[in-house]
Homo-oligomer: A and B are copies of this chain.
Amino acid sequence: MGTRYNAIAGTSAERLAALSDGLFAVAMTLLVLDLRVPALEAIHGEADLRQALIGLAPRVLIYLMSFLTLGIFWVGQQTQLNFVARSDRTLSWLHLAFLFSVSLMPFSTSLMAEYIAYCTALLVYWFNILLLGIVLYLTWRYAVRAGLTSAEVTPMVRRSMERRILIAQGLYGFGALLCLHSTHWSIGFIFVVQAIYAIGPRTGPLSRI
């Protein structure tokens, strides 16, 4: 018969974490390549350079927004992996699918930075966030169902993890819809949602999301 590869492959949660940290680190740093230094030909003095840098402001904002997105999902994945006692092959591949979505982020970000007024670009960006959310949700559901989580994972923790993803995706989806009105509204709304998630208020109505 022979041992099945399924039974022995992908059991190291540490290496999954190391690969994830590496991939997030590269994706976060590649984002900066969209901030292109102004071309020498167009700059004839300090005033020109200041003008050119001020013109970069929307790109800096989108860069910051994508950094926030990756930060939110990095914290989210880390929180999940902290609760995972061991991995298996399926969980490894679900996390690889998650990392695939992470690696698409520099592309979605470039696209939106270049086409900031286009609904199409915003929908691609939103689709990337949706993909991140769906895969992260599935990894969690799978880890719980396959009994890979540690004993600390009470039903309350489990529901907290799931509810959080669903609420966040609901808000992102609403933000994407706003592009029917204007992409600037969408970007503004998504940015605010992300800032709230990053700051994570501890009291008041927002402390529950």
Q: Residues of A with Cβ closer than 8 Å to B?
A: 1-6, 8-12, 15, 17-19, 21-33, 35, 37, 40, 43, 46, 49-50, 53, 64, 67, 71, 74-76, 78-79, 81-83, 89-90, 92-93, 96, 99-100, 103-104, 106-107, 110-111, 114-115, 118-121, 124, 154, 156-157, 159-161, 163-164, 198-200, 202, 207-208
- Smallest CB separation, A121 vs chain B (Å): 7
**Measured between alpha carbons, how far is A75 from B49 in the docked complex, in Å?**
33
Tell me whether A75 and B21 are in contact (CB under 8 A). Answer: no
Verify B160–A3 contact, CB threshold 8 A. Answer: yes
**Are A67 and B22 in contact (CB-based, < 8 A)?**
no
Roughly how many angstroms separate A50 CA and B115 CA in the complex, as a whole number?
12
User: Which residues from B are CB-within-8-Å of A3?
Assistant: 154, 156-157, 159-160
Query: What residues on B are CB-neighbors of A161 within 8 Å?
Result: 5
Q: Are B15 and A78 in contact (CB under 8 A)?
A: yes
Docked Cα-Cα span, A157 to B71, in Å, equals 30
The residues of B that contact A37 with a CB separation of less than 8 Å are 107, 110-111, 114
Report B-chain residues with C-beta under 8 Å of the C-beta of A79.
5, 8-11
Counting chain B CB atoms within 10 Å of each CB, the highest count among A5, A33, A156, A198 belongs to A5
**Contact call A92/B120, Cβ cutoff below 8 A:** no
With A28-B23, A29-B23, A75-B92 as contacts: A6 and B200 at CB distance below 8 Å: yes
A11 to nearest B CB, angstroms?
Answer: 6
- The answer, among B25, B53, B156, for a CB contact under 8 Å with A26, is B25
Assess the B78–A118 pair: CB atoms within 8 A. no
Give the 7 A-B residue pairs with the shortest CB-CB distance, closest first.
Answer: A22-B25, A18-B21, A26-B29, A23-B25, A3-B160, A71-B96, A3-B156
Minimum distance in angstroms from A174 CB to a CB of chain B: 20
Most buried by B among A21, A114, A118, A198: A21
Q: Which residues from B are CB-within-8-Å of A99? A: 28
Distance of A157 Cα from B1 Cα, bound (Å): 11
Chain B nearest CB, measured from A150 CB (Å): 12
